[in-house]
Amino acid sequence: MEAIQSSSLGDAAAQLGEISCHLKATEDIWFICCSCTYFTKDQHGIVSHLVAHGDEQVMCHHPLMSTSSRSVVNSNTQLHRGDRFFKCKLCLQAFADKGSLIQDNQTHTGEKPFKCKLCPQAFARSSHLKDHNRTHNGEKPYRCRLWPQIFAQNSHLIIHNRTHSGEKPYKCKLCFQAFARSGSLTYHNQIHTGERPFKCKLCPQTFARKSWLTHHNRTHTGEKPYMCRLCPQAFSSSSSLSRHNRIHSGEKPYKCKLCPQAFSQNSHLVTHNRIHSGEKPGKYKLCF
């Protein structure tokens, strides 16, 4: 597989125009954006994407872009440049089209009209359902450019890329810790607040998040909606299925920074790290 990277947007467009004269439809060539994780086999697609980053030189240089394509690109560029006219009254977000505003409102009302046909989950946005469906069909179109790992969602690839860059953009306001994922910061904040508003109706347990309560309820009902496609096992949560799938794939994404060992689960890495730190579990009490 040959990959063609875009560098400077205007220069890249000119280069793509020259390359197009020599490409055959049967060649397996990927166009890769150097400004983000986007990649495609479609030459028009990469040109539209480059313009969406904000450089009209692409349209000037590229000889194959039709008037209709330019119209689509102009619309796409609007989205990236912040010309957004539909504003939510409940949060600070604004959107370029009314449909996106309606979907945002559903995140406030809790409405989830897009239901999975294979499991009980439902979503406020159709795009979220599309991403979720890949957990069932196994599709993983997003590839890491540095490792052979692939992902079902672009957001997962972005988070994964932070393992290479070391970026931790989510910082706690109450202590020095920072995180690569927003969800990790949310979990961490519960150490400070201790809030657990979601209560189980069948036992005394309480939870900080509704999703945790949903997973917990399955310990009472015995429901296991997440089925492994390679063996008969089933699980009560998608995260448990993901961990199990690594048994089949052999994937070990959790790597020790002090030695060559790698692990399929983060908990195994935490246990392993005690070999290096000399920590003895149970010797110390945690104070919050």
Band (pLDDT 50/70/90 cuts) for residue 163 is confident
The Cα 22–Cα 4 span in angstroms is 13
pLDDT of residue 259: 92
Band (pLDDT 50/70/90 cuts) for residue 2 is very low
For the residues 275-282, what does the mean pLDDT come to?
76
- DSSP label of 256: -
The Cα 104–Cα 107 span in angstroms is 5
**CB count in 10 Å sphere of residue 180:** 19
The Cα 228–Cα 234 span in angstroms is 6
Q: Which CATH number fits domain 194-277: 3.40.640.10, 3.30.160.60, 3.30.450.20, 1.10.10.10?
A: 3.30.160.60
pLDDT tens for each residue of 87-142: 888 777 777 777 778 877 777 887 888 899 989 999 888 888 888 888 888 888 88
Band (pLDDT 50/70/90 cuts) for residue 34 is low
For the residues 207-230, what does the mean pLDDT come to?
89
The encoded tokens of residue 34 equal 């150097």
The encoded tokens of residue 209 equal 């998040």
What's the distance, CA 8 to chain centroid?
A: 26
Coil, helix or strand at residue 39? strand
Residues whose CB falls within 8 Å of the CB of residue 170, separated by 6 or more in sequence, listed in order: 178, 179, 180, 181, 182, 184, 185
- Yes or no: say if 86 and 100 are a contact pair by the CB < 8 Å rule: yes
pLDDT tens for each residue of 202-214: 999 998 878 889 9
Higher pLDDT, 146 or 3: 146
For the chain, give every domain's residue range: 2-81, 89-171, 194-277
For the residues 193-219, what does the mean pLDDT come to?
88
Domains 89-171 and 194-277 share a fold: yes
The Cα 88–Cα 104 span in angstroms is 8
Q: What sign results for the dihedral spanned by CA atoms 236, 242, 248, 254?
A: negative
Domain at 89-171: CATH architecture: 2-Layer Sandwich (3.30)
Angle CA 125–127–132, to nearest 5: 100
The encoded tokens of residue 266 equal 């983060």
Higher pLDDT, 188 or 65: 188
User: What pTM does this model have?
Assistant: 0.36
Residues whose CB falls within 8 Å of the CB of residue 67, separated by 6 or more in sequence, listed in order: none
Coil, helix or strand at residue 75? helix
The encoded tokens of residue 57 equal 């030189």
